[in-house]
């Protein structure tokens, strides 16, 4: 049924930037501060008359991110008020840059960006049995919004794209981009059309509150099937916001968006237009950064296999450990093997790994003068196996080596033992 329709998907990705201070005031940017309402001031509490001052560090981090993902930086940024009422938004408007954003256009892995904004996060609502509490520590935290064109045609492609965005943010150090913690939040817009149809469907369903990649995949798969089934049944799809219930495995309507929201946007009178001059621009675009895509290539050139590359690129601290192990004289594949595969080394530092490896090497018995008498004893005690070996049974050799290993607690050098055996039994 789903094969009768093709999917149209566009993403809106939000990420909290980890600057020292908030977006428009000097309060500490720590949305996870457990002591409620401590990082607050008149600006982020929305008190009348408070003056917002844009955080240039946040702006530069947003620009660095936008540039690094291939979006085109803009030279003029204008903050506007997006007016709406909600208890977690004390001013009655959110400051954002909808018409003159940080970046417009450009693409990553074939997906075009519509625009990238830098705005402010809302406060946090805490719902108890009989009341709702508001914690303003999160109010005014810098929030990056990445909006793609509806270019995705495949759910896995969308998940991979989000993972890449997450990695890039982490590599640049601009956001922790943790979905579970809520540093990174996804909204997916999805609709379906007949294969070959060029124009976009006249509706879209917005899926909110996606808090993990596996949830994203499941929710979108169900929503895609629901939309196809609805059309097959001759029913019409409407513009709405839907959630996904993991228990029932179904999506459900949360809010229908028949009439367009009117946010009555207008420029924030207290924030002058921001002009990004050439000097500022080149400070961002010439910054020396490492991107996951570049690291993948680099590791490929070192001859590492795809499984190693996936693990090392996906976990920067593991990659750093890999580098530190290499610095101690190990080859790329040896180092990758130690940090990726050997569970015993998971909790060990590079120096500890080196110590264990050296010990393994130095405690090996390679001296023929020591090994020969042991090999002779083994030969004398296993005459049956020896005659098997002489009649061409290859596993007899393995058994004899095994016996030497046993009597040396595994310290004998197997290759040297084999050559002694060959010599003595020739
Ligand atoms: P609005 O202006 O109402 O916010 P936009 O046109 O900006 O809507 O689109 C918001 C998001 O929805 C974008 O990520 C875009 O790619 C996506 N989108 C737009 N139209 C469709 C559609 N028909 N199907 C799926 N996604 C869509
Ligand atoms: Zn504040
Ligand atoms: Mg929009």
Phi-psi region of 410 (alpha: psi -120 to 50; beta: other; left: phi over 0): left
Ligand 1 pocket member 16 (CB < 6 A):
no
**Whether residues 75 and 35 fall in one domain:** yes
**Whether residues 11 and 150 fall in one domain:** yes
**Whether residues 358 and 375 fall in one domain:** no
Ligand 1 pocket member 201 (CB < 6 A):
yes
Query: What does the block give as tokens for 319?
Result: 């990659």
How many domains are there within the chain?
Answer: 3
Residue that terminates a domain, selected from 285, 319, 343: 285
Strands 103-108 and 274-275, bridge-based pairing? unpaired
Ligand 1 pocket member 204 (CB < 6 A):
yes
pLDDT digits (tens, 9 = 90+) for 296-314: 999 999 999 999 999 999 9
Q: CA 392 → CA 388, 397, 425, distances in Å?
A: 7, 9, 12
Indicate which ligand has the atom closest to the C-alpha of 114.
Answer: 1
| CA-proximal residue: ligand 1, atom 3 (nearest) | 260
**What pLDDT, on a 0 to 100 scale, did the predictor assign at position 128?**
92
* Euclidean distance between CA atoms 368 and 65, whole angstroms: 61
Round the CA-based radius of gyration of the chain to a whole number and report it: 31
**What pLDDT, on a 0 to 100 scale, did the predictor assign at position 258?**
57
Ligand 1 pocket member 224 (CB < 6 A):
no
Tell me, in angstroms, the distance from the centre of ligand 2 to residue 124's CA: 14
User: What phi and psi values does residue 48 have, to the nearest 5 degrees?
Assistant: -60, 140
Tell me, in angstroms, the distance from the centre of ligand 1 to residue 204's CA: 7
* Euclidean distance between CA atoms 9 and 220, whole angstroms: 10
* Euclidean distance between CA atoms 425 and 423, whole angstroms: 6
**Whether residues 324 and 423 fall in one domain:** no
Q: Which of 28, 12, 312, 14 is nearest to 181 (CA)?
A: 14
Phi-psi region of 105 (alpha: psi -120 to 50; beta: other; left: phi over 0): left
Average pLDDT over every residue of 356-369: 85
- pLDDT of 68 higher than 70: yes
For the CA of 151, the nearest atom of ligand 1: 16
**What pLDDT, on a 0 to 100 scale, did the predictor assign at position 261?**
73
**What pLDDT, on a 0 to 100 scale, did the predictor assign at position 119?**
98
Residue that terminates a domain, selected from 285, 316, 343: 285
Please, are residues 244 and 251 in contact by the beta-carbon 8 Å criterion?
yes
Confidence at 408, pLDDT banded by 50, 70, 90: confident
CATH of the domain at 415: 1.10.10.410
Query: What does the block give as tokens for 140?
Result: 């005014």
| CA-proximal residue: ligand 1, atom 13 (nearest) | 10
pLDDT digits (tens, 9 = 90+) for 276-294: 999 999 999 999 999 999 9
Place of tokens 């998971």: 346
**Whether residues 149 and 255 fall in one domain:** yes
Tell me, in angstroms, the distance from the centre of ligand 2 to residue 284's CA: 27
Ligand 1 pocket member 175 (CB < 6 A):
no
> Cα angle vertex 411, ends 410, 414, to 5°?
80
**What pLDDT, on a 0 to 100 scale, did the predictor assign at position 257?**
65
- In the DSSP assignment, the letter for residue 6 is E
**What pLDDT, on a 0 to 100 scale, did the predictor assign at position 11?**
98
- pLDDT of 259 higher than 60: no
Average pLDDT over every residue of 188-217: 94
Average pLDDT over every residue of 47-53: 95
**Whether residues 358 and 387 fall in one domain:** no
Q: Give the chain's mean pLDDT.
A: 94
**Whether residues 205 and 177 fall in one domain:** yes
Confidence at 79, pLDDT banded by 50, 70, 90: very high
Ligand 1 pocket member 207 (CB < 6 A):
no
**Whether residues 252 and 121 fall in one domain:** yes
**Whether residues 99 and 221 fall in one domain:** yes
Alpha helix stretches (DSSP H) within 233-367: 278-285, 292-301, 306-314, 316-327, 332-336, 350-362
**Whether residues 81 and 131 fall in one domain:** yes
* Euclidean distance between CA atoms 159 and 175, whole angstroms: 18
Q: CA 83 → CA 25, 122, 218, distances in Å?
A: 20, 13, 34
Residue that terminates a domain, selected from 285, 307, 334: 285
**Whether residues 71 and 114 fall in one domain:** yes
Domain range for 388? 364-426
pLDDT digits (tens, 9 = 90+) for 81-121: 999 999 999 999 999 999 999 999 999 999 999 999 999 99
Percent of residues, the chain, with pLDDT higher than 70: 99
- pLDDT of 419 higher than 90: yes
**Whether residues 36 and 171 fall in one domain:** yes
- pLDDT of 350 higher than 80: yes
Ligand 1 pocket member 117 (CB < 6 A):
no
């Amino acid at each position: 049924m789903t094969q009768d329709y093709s999917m149209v998907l566009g993403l809106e990705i939000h990420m909290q930037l980890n600057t020292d201070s908030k977006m428009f005031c000097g309060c500490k940017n720590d949305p996870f501060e457990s002591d409620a309402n401590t990082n607050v001031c008149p600006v982020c509490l929305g008190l009348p008359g408070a003056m917002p001052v844009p955080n240039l560090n946040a702006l530069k981090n947003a620009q660095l991110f936008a540039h690094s993902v291939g979006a085109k930086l803009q030279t003029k940024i204008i903050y506007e008020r997006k007016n709406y009422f909600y208890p977690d938004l004390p001013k009655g408007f959110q400051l954002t840059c909808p018409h003159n954003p940080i970046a417009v256009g450009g693409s990553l892995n074939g997906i075009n960006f519509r625009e990238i904004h830098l705005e402010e996060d809302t406060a946090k609502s805490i719902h108890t049995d009989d009341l709702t509490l508001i914690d303003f520590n999160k109010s005014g935290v810098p929030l990056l919004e990445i909006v793609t064109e509806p270019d995705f045609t495949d759910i896995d492609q969308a998940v991979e794209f989000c993972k890449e965005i997450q990695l890039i943010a982490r590599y640049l150090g601009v956001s922790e981009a943790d979905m579970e913690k809520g540093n990174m939040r996804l909204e997916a817009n999805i609709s379906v059309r007949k294969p070959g149809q060029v124009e976009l469907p006249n509706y879209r369903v917005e899926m909110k509150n996606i808090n993990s990649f596996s949830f994203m995949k499941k929710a979108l798969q169900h929503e895609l099937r629901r939309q196809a089934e609805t059309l097959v049944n001759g029913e019409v799809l409407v513009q709405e916001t839907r959630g996904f219930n993991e228990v029932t495995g179904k999506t459900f309507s949360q809010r229908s968006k028949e009439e367009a929201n009117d946010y009555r946007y207008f420029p924030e009178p207290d924030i002058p237009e921001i002009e990004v001059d050439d000097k500022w621009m080149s400070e961002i675009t010439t910054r020396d950064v490492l991107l996951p895509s570049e690291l993948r290539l680099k590791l490929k050139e070192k001859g590492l296999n795809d499984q190693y590359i996936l693990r090392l690129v996906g976990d920067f601290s593991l990659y750093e450990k890999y580098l530190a192990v290499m610095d101690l004289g190990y080859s790329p594949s040896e180092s990758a093997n130690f940090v990726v595969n050997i569970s015993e080394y998971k909790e060990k530092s590079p120096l500890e790994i080196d110590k264990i490896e050296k010990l393994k090497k130095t405690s090996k018995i390679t001296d023929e003068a020591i090994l020969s008498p042991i090999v002779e004893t083994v030969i004398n005690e296993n005459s049956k196996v020896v005659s098997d070996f002489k009649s061409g049974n290859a596993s007899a050799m393995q058994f004899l080596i095994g016996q030497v290993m046993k009597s040396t607690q595994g310290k004998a050098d197997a290759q040297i033992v084999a050559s002694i055996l060959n010599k003595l039994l020739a």
